[in-house]
Structure 1
């Protein structure tokens, strides 16, 4: 199980890196400006979230991953929640789910309505998926767990959804 989890995590990380790198270049040199000899150096600080955003995203993650919460309440906190409701209801029926929780270690904005979230998934207070990176998306005034994050966790469990 652990080897499978590590392999799945490595594949997911590789796909994320490959996707990010694919979007970084341009092979259209016909419109390129003439080269200059001056170099421009920028040193941007990593983006930080304000305290209210961190608190909102942390609350969303802790509520969504709280196995004692109802499936309906949890579905309201995940992107495309209606599509995941049946899965969340099935998970709520299993005794192991009632002991799940999460700790949030970091929140890093990636845009005005998106953020990366460092978290550890716990069962019975014990880490089962430590040091994970998920995403949060803001829809209206509500921060939600990104569907891609929930889909990745479903895949690790061997599950699937048409919403993924």
Structure 2
């Protein structure tokens, strides 16, 4: 498994998107003591650019959920079932998720979300750092989060890019990407 992905997006594009989109401040000082699976209410856009919706109604709460779910997905302590629930189309992506988790380094990888930029009420670009055994392995990686069935999830394209970049031909041959 390679520790990161760019998904074909340049840093210039990500920077331009950050300038264009209105971001709500992270809720670093607040916590969600309600527990639960990180679900989100149906998104209704309030921020618009050229008439197109660019963020969920409560962007700050959505950002907190994206951050929490992204980090949980990449947490080695998270069960396979919970990871499946946090992956876009998780039920269909079981074989790909097993290939990703089956890599010997899978239990050593974690992600720290640095930035969430909403591109629509149901999608966000996530900038994150992947660590391997606590050491930075890939800073400033980018991926996508998607709102599916009321929950912010790691996109299939993000996981597929990580698997494809791993160089493990057997993992890359797993159906789903």
User: Same fold per TM (> 0.5)?
Assistant: yes
- Determine the structure 2 residue equivalent to 1:153: 162
107 and 96 in structure 1: CA distance in 2 versus 1, 3 angstrom threshold: same
TM-score in terms of structure 1 length: 0.69
TM-score in terms of structure 2 length: 0.64
SS at match of 2:93: helix
Structure 2 residue runs without a partner (length 5+): 14-18, 25-58
1:61-83 Cα deviation digits (max 9, x unpaired): 10111122111110110112123
- Determine the structure 2 residue equivalent to 1:130: 139
Q: Which of the numbers 85, 94, 102 marks the counterpart of 1:76?
A: 85
Highest CA radius of gyration, 1 or 2?
1
Structure with a larger share of its residues in helix: 1
94 and 13 in structure 1: CA distance in 2 versus 1, 3 angstrom threshold: closer
RMSD (CA atoms): 2.7
Structure 1 residue runs without a partner (length 5+): 18-43
Q: Distance in 2 between matches of 1:95 and 1:45?
A: 40
Once the 2 structures are TM-superposed, how far is the Cα of residue 91 of structure 1 from its aligned partner?
A: 4.3
- Determine the structure 1 residue equivalent to 2:113: 104
Count how many residue pairs are aligned between Structure 1 and Structure 2.
131
Q: Distance in 2 between matches of 1:108 and 1:92?
A: 27
